[in-house]
Amino acid sequence: MKTEPCEPMHALQLFEPDPNTLYTIEAAARLADVPRHTILVYYKHGLLCPVVDPECGAYFFDDTAIRLLRRIEYMRNVSGVNLAGIKMTLDLLNEVERLQSEVRFLRLGMHPPRELKSRPWRLL
């Protein structure tokens, strides 16, 4: 008798949004399970940047910002890092990423593009 492995009927599917999708602050709050006010606090501390200028009347975030928001929440709630520590950590992570990219380019005998020299925060 041949038995086949059992698979759950309702397996969790990963959600990979279209990179061009923009989310309102309310949608970002729901996706990251973070209060709207907390997102605004992170914005005011320079930890998170909306894709669209808030002076246009609304805050919009992309999938990279959602991932960054989740990372910030993890550092704050699970690791107990304060906002200054999170800012420093994100700065260092971005510098490491920039340097790694520069080394890759140099190994290929190329010069790194200018955008790698000063990048806004990204989520790794």
Domain assignments of the chain as residue spans, ordered by start = 23-116
The C-alpha atoms of residue 123 and residue 64 are separated, in whole angstroms, by 6
What would be the CATH architecture of the domain defined by 23-116?
Orthogonal Bundle (1.10)
pLDDT of residue 20: 85
pLDDT of residue 100: 94
- List pLDDT tens digits, range 15-35: 566 778 999 999 999 999 999
Is the distance from CB of 49 to CB of 65 less than 8 angstroms?
A: yes
pLDDT of residue 71: 93
**Under-70 pLDDT residues of the chain:** 1-17, 111-124
Structure tokens at 43: 């914005």
